[in-house]
Amino acid sequence: QNPKTKEQIESLLQNGKHKELRDRLCCRLTFGTAGLRSAMGAGFCYINDLTVIQSTQGIYKYLERCFSDFKQRGFVVGYDTRGQVTSNCSSKKLAKLTAAVLLAKDVPVYFFSTYVPTPFVPYAVQQLKAVAGVMITASHNRKEDNGYKVYWENGAQITSPHDKEIIKCIEECVEPWNGSWNENLVDTSPLRQDPLKKICDCYMEDLKKICYHRELNMQTNLKFVHTSFHGVGHDYVQLAFKAFGFQPPIPVPEQKDPDPDFSTVKCPNPEEGESVLELSLRLAEKESARVVVATDPDADRLAVAEQQENGCWKVFTGNELAALFGWWMFSCWKENCSKDADVKNVYMLATTVSSKILRAIALKEGFHFEETLPGFKWIGSRVKDLLDNGKEILFAFEESIGFMCGTSVLDKDGVSAAVVTAEMATYLEGKNQTLAQKLTEIYETYGYHISKTSYFLCYDPPTIKRIFEKLRNFDGPQAYPKFCGVYNILHVRDVTTGYDSSQPNKKSVLPVSKSSQMITFTFQNGCVATLRTSGTEPKIKYYAEMCALPEQSDRTFLEEELQKLIEALIENFLEPDKNGLIWRSA
């Protein structure tokens, strides 16, 4: 019933664009590492009014089967600020349709009256004891995209088997039901409640549990600049700083308000570094603010930059920030824990493609460290299991600047990470130390962990499959490579097939993940490298890290060794020229 998307299909038909019609209509959206995500527009593999209605009908059907009290407990719906005029598609409109499907079936819906950070949805699901929730967002993707992120009653993103079962249910009821198109139901139904004030107040109150130096925060002369990347973050980061006793951070005026075109950045991903942080760094220099915090458009991830003594800016990688957060959260725990607290009950987690720095800290300090598959959905579910077993989780992260400080939200959260960064910088300032100096000290104490992550673009799925199949049959049928150029490979783990040469039974400890490609190589020189496909974008990503012992402190040598190994990895395993891969633009 959306004239704009209807028009798109009619025009393709009239112009004889049969291949594009097939691409749009002959496959369905599937759940990746962050739910359903695709371009907005017409077609069953795109995000639009119809595919959102169909997805919600499938979820209704599945939840009705799983929960006898579904209609008592209700469902949470949140949304970001994305939109596209050409297909008359906005996150808010898609959220209203999501709510309509459920309200028409007499399900109570907690529908936020305005845009919220993604972490507010999992937080609300737990606080309101709802059975599930949906966030309409494409996070930091390009402006053409949107997405549909599903959270289970435990407050974590859904994992298998729920995702597979929901897809089955969607396919069983693709025709919109009576009432599913009625987006005005959110304004008229008595079953709709607005959880905004309650959730925002509770969230800010819970945030104080991880605030350890309120007095310092109130007195500091340090100034902070915050950019919300044209997304949802501004109001919420302001409130979070207030909750910690800080003066509000200085907002970047051009990027403070929502803008679905993200008009001041070439891509709305703060991970891209200095090139996209230009406006915030210039403002910080003008205001003499030494630290910049940047939340991505749905405020679930955080980038941090700090001005160094020579006037240059250091933009920290996700792995470097994790080293700082890991040190900080553990130090704060140690200072504040009760006399009989057992360090063996304490946990930190990371995804398997992230830095092993937490493992090094854990080994030395005596707490536990665990790894999960890539994607915060795996971290959230595992953290919930550990909490249910009486464990204490201080911190978890993924290298793509996703951080979970504390356990109020079982997902990555850029709002809490921003204010924890500010407190850490304030504390260190009192010790005459910068974040960068502390990072070096952490590496000198626990061993240098030098990593590099990047990607190639590949818009041709058969090419991607061919690259990975070649690695599985490198030295003959079912024989993985033993060398990469001059570098000797000790172990290979292939999570796609469930193989791991380092295990006695040759089976991977991490669950098999057939839907995506991922192979990890452990080299004799202490480097670990992973090649994998992205769950949300047409990318082949590579992750490589040198893990050195504390006594190996020659940083330059380690960096050179890592660079040479990455070059060998690209040349021998990815072969970009031969495979037509597009290099990430520097």
Residue 71, both tokens: 């209609």
Beta strands in 232-312 (DSSP E): 250-251, 291-295, 302-307
Q: Is residue 318 within 8 Å of 400, Cβ to Cβ?
A: yes
Which position among 38, 139, 189, 354 bears the catalytic label? 139
| Alpha-carbon span 93 to 84, nearest angstrom | 11
Q: Beta strand pairing status for 527-533 and 518-523?
A: antiparallel
Backbone φ/ψ region at 230: left (φ over 0), alpha (ψ -120 to 50), beta: left
CA–CA dist 397, 22 (Å, integer): 39
The answer to whether 372 and 249 have CB atoms below 8 angstroms apart is no
Do β-strands 346-351 and 392-398 pair in parallel, antiparallel, or remain unpaired? parallel
Cα dihedral angle (447, 313, 435, 288), rounded to 10 degrees?
A: 170
CA-based nearest residue to 298, from 200, 203, 232, 397? 232
What is the distance between the alpha carbons of residues 239 and 222, in angstroms, rounded to a whole number? 18
| CA–CA separation, 92 and 196 (whole Å) | 15
Q: How many residues in total does the chain contain?
A: 586
Cβ(328)–Cβ(426) below 8 Å:
no
Least Cα distance to 422 among 27, 155, 414, 167 occurs for: 414
- What's the count of helices (H) and strands (E) in the chain, helices before strands? 20, 25
Q: Is 90 a catalytic residue?
A: no
Q: With contact defined as beta carbons under 8 Å apart, do 244 and 207 qualify?
A: yes
Indicate the helix (H) or strand (E) that contains 405: strand 402-405
Measured in degrees and rounded to the nearest 5, phi and psi for residue 86 equal -65, -25
Amino acid at position 423, single letter = E
**Helical H runs in 389-510?**
414-430, 435-446, 461-472
Report residue 423 as tokens. 């407190």
Q: Is 211 helix (H, G, I), strand (E, B) or coil?
A: coil
How far is it, in rounded angstroms, from Cα 394 to Cα 305? 23
Strands 346-351 and 368-372: parallel
**Residue 433 region by backbone torsions, left for phi larger than 0, else alpha for psi between -120 and 50, else beta:** beta
**266 three-class SS:** coil
Question: What positions carry a catalytic annotation?
Answer: 139
